Amino acid sequence: MTTVSFRSDTIERQWHLVDFEGLILGRAASRIASVLRGKHRPTYTPNADCGDFVVVINAEKLKLTGNKLEGKIYYRHSGYLGGLKSLTAGELLEKNPARIIELAVQRMMPSGPLGRRMMKKLKVYAGADHPHEAQNPTPLDLNTI
């Protein structure tokens, strides 16, 4: 018996659609990260990009539990002295709701070139419209993963 190791170029990728209306950010982001990595497949290989594409719609209708709208702070730095900028989750949700989901999923992915390649398969849109109708994305139930 031999162990079969799968490569990225031999994987058949599927397109999944996630409607974020009423979903809690952290729980949904962890399941999306699992699909992007390919952990839902029996052919999962940790050192290869064997995940699927995920299209997220209605990012503006996500839920945050507790006091996270005012208490959760997103930081970024310009690289210059005194260049630390901060936004609360509520401010970022008004300004760019897709960025909250991208950051949540990105921080659950592996760091490095493999994680960056996996993140390119995530497409997030604030509204209900998306330009990926031609790929026929299938609705993904995050409770079954």
Identity of residue 43: T
- The domain limits of the chain are 12-63+96-144
Closest by CA position to 64, among listed 18, 101, 115: 101
Residues 89, 72: Cα–Cα separation, whole Å? 6
86-121 pLDDT, tens digit each: 999 999 999 999 999 999 999 999 999 999 999 999
Residue 3 is predicted with a pLDDT of 77
19-56 pLDDT, tens digit each: 999 999 999 999 999 999 999 998 888 999 999 999 99
pTM, to two decimals: 0.92
CATH number of 12-63+96-144: 3.90.1180.10
Under the banding of pLDDT at 50, 70 and 90, the label for residue 18 is very high
Average pLDDT of the residues in 60-81: 96
Residue 126 is predicted with a pLDDT of 95
